[in-house]
Structures are given as C-alpha cells and as structure tokens.
Amino acid sequence: MTAADVHTAITAAVDAYRVDANVAHLLERIEQVARTADPDTLASAVEPFRAMPEVAGPVYEHIVAARPDDARALVILANAYWLAGRGPEQVAELASRAIAADPTHRGAWHLWALTESDLRARVTRWGQVARRFPEDQLARANLADNAASLASADHDREALELAIETYTELRALAARAEEIQALDRAIQTLRDWRI
C-alpha cells in the first residue's frame, strides 16, 4: 500500500465514521490499513485526526508496537487514551515510558503529572515539571491551580503560599490585559482566604 493509499484509506474510514458513527467498522478499517503500513506513513495519515481518540488511539497502538521507545508516539497514544477515558493507570504507564525514552519531552511530563489521583502528590508532580521546565507557563498554571485546590481542601497554609507565589510569577509574565486581571483576581482571592 502506497503512502497515498494509506492517507486515502484513513480519510475514507474517518469520513464513513462521521456519517454512520459505527465504531466497530471504523476500527476494522483502521486495522486493515495499519497492519501493512509503515509507522511514518501511519503517523502522517492520522495527523489531521489526532484530536479523535477513536482514530488516533488504534493507529498509534500500531506505531508504538513497532517503535516502543518513540516518546512522541507514546505521548500521542497516552493522550488519545486520556481523551477516550481509558484511565490514569494506562496513561501514566505510557507517559512514564515516554519520559524514560526522552526525559526532555514536556508532553510526557504533563501527562505524568496530570494522571496522579492524589491531590498532594499531584501538586508535587506539577512542582517537579515546573522546575524541570522553568519556561513552561502551563506547568506553572497547573501547579498554582492544584496548590490552590489543596489549600482549600486541606486548609494547607504552605499550599496557599505556593499558589500565591506561583500565580504572582505568572502575573509577572502576563502580557494580555484580561490575563493580568484574572491573575490579579486569583491572587487577591487567595490572599483573602483565612487558613
């Protein structure tokens, strides 16, 4: 099967699925294509459909089977599983494998932190990600949000201070007026808490 054939077949499978919503038929068509296509061609063909976990997941299962140490493929599969509701254990396992394969892959670290179910441990994980990638504002925002949740849930003074400090750091980097206003409101709200 040529690369053009793979692209055509994946697109046709998705187009049919959008009409009939038949997941079994979609998976069968994807399986037929994925069995014979090489991983690069599959990745290219599914790129326009990565936001559809029912498409990206099955394709990336084949890609990861062929390339078990491909951090990018592991992260894409983990994200598809997360979006499909496959559970934090499977996602965390894939994220950990991606981190082992490429410790610089931020997406792997984000999924690793996101999948922690214990709020206190999740704050710790987001702190690790924010320290590892100091320019990552999304990691800082997740750290601040989770620390604020921990402060509220456990009346934790240290978590409250961490949330205020992290939101203040984000405020210093903010460029848009609405972002600055939102951060100012969050900081003031947290400063008004009585813990």
Distance between CA 86 and CA 72 in Å, rounded? 19
Predicted pLDDT at 1: 80
Predicted pLDDT at 68: 97
Domain contains 181:
yes
Domain contains 43:
no
CA separation (Å) from 121 to 116, 135, 183?
7, 22, 24
The token pair that represents 140 in the structure block: 């800082």
Predicted pLDDT at 87: 87
> Can you give the residue range of the structural domain that contains 193?
119-195
* Sign of the four-CA dihedral 34, 5, 98, 85: negative
What total number of domains does the chain contain? 1
Specify the pTM: 0.89
Domain contains 124:
yes
Domain contains 137:
yes
Domain contains 94:
no
The tens digit of pLDDT for each residue in 15-31 reads: 999 999 999 999 999 99
- Range 144-160 average pLDDT: 97
Task: Please check the confidence at residue 45 and state whether its pLDDT lies above 80.
Answer: yes
Closest by CA to 90, choosing from 101, 103, 79, 105, is 79
Distance between CA 50 and CA 66 in Å, rounded? 19
Domain contains 135:
yes
Domain contains 19:
no
Domain contains 191:
yes
Percent of the chain having pLDDT more than 70? 100
Task: Please check the confidence at residue 194 and state whether its pLDDT lies above 90.
Answer: no
Task: Please check the confidence at residue 75 and state whether its pLDDT lies above 90.
Answer: yes
